[in-house]
């Protein structure tokens, strides 16, 4: 359930590829507007169209390389580069696939964004509230950093669950199951 909430939270607020200027709240608002238009226009009903939309408009807003590096932790430093690239693809594929499945459920959601809480001049957290009819509002924290290409999402915390922590646990379980420890104990 937490995984679904986390994925749905990502879906509701992710910014499109070109929205990198301003503050993170403006980036999220632009993403909400584009996503709302896509969902209400019926695009979410077609899984292939939803995957294309997410790949083109949503994926560029995330730093999947950073997410994979953090999720792998010390294991990543001992893995060959092609294995790390594979993990990046797994995380991106998992997130986008889950988002594609969840797109339909956000047709009537409302979103309220807080002012960004700056952590230095290159990191920020924006709290968002997802308000759906007949459901308890859900708060979601989006963690951004400002890089050369603008603001990028590197973590999302929904229902007390961090995407980074979720993926670290997922990768550890997979490593244990395949018995490829790469230095993990």
Output 6 or 154, whichever has higher pLDDT. 154
Looking up tokens 């992710």, which residue turns up? Answer: 14
**Confidence band of 57 (pLDDT split at 50, 70, 90):** confident
- Give the pLDDT score at 47: 80
d(CA 93, CA 114): 29
Q: What is the DSSP string of 76-101?
A: HHTS-HHHHHHHHHHHHHHHHHHHHH
Q: Is residue 106 part of a domain?
A: yes
- Give the pLDDT score at 1: 41
Q: Is residue 185 part of a domain?
A: no
Q: Is residue 167 part of a domain?
A: yes
CA distances from 102 to 41, 50, 69 (A): 16, 10, 26
Average pLDDT over residues 58-68: 90
Question: Is 6's pLDDT higher than 50?
Answer: no
| pTM metric for this prediction | 0.78
Parent domain of 160: 2-178
CATH code of 102's domain: 3.10.450.710
Q: How many domains does the chain have?
A: 1
Q: Is residue 124 part of a domain?
A: yes
Q: Which residues pair with 147 in a beta bridge?
A: 150
């Amino acid at each position: 359930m937490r995984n679904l909430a986390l994925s749905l939270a990502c879906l509701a607020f992710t910014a499109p590829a070109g929205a990198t200027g301003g503050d993170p709240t403006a980036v999220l608002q632009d993403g909400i507007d584009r996503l709302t238009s896509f969902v209400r226009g019926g695009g979410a009903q077609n899984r292939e169209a939803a995957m294309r939309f997410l790949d083109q408009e949503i994926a560029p807003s995330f730093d999947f390389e950073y997410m994979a590096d953090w999720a792998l932790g010390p294991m990543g430093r001992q893995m060959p580069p092609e294995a790390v690239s594979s993990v990046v693809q797994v995380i991106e594929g998992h997130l986008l696939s889950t988002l594609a499945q969840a797109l339909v459920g956000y047709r009537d959601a409302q979103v309220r964004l807080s002012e960004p809480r700056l952590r230095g001049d290159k990191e920020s957290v924006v709290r968002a509230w997802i308000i759906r009819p007949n459901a308890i509002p859900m708060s979601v924290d989006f963690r951004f950093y400002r890089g050369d290409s603008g603001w990028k999402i590197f973590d999302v915390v929904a229902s007390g669950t961090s995407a980074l922590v979720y993926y670290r646990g997922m990768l550890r379980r997979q490593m244990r199951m395949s018995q490829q420890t790469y230095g993990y104990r």
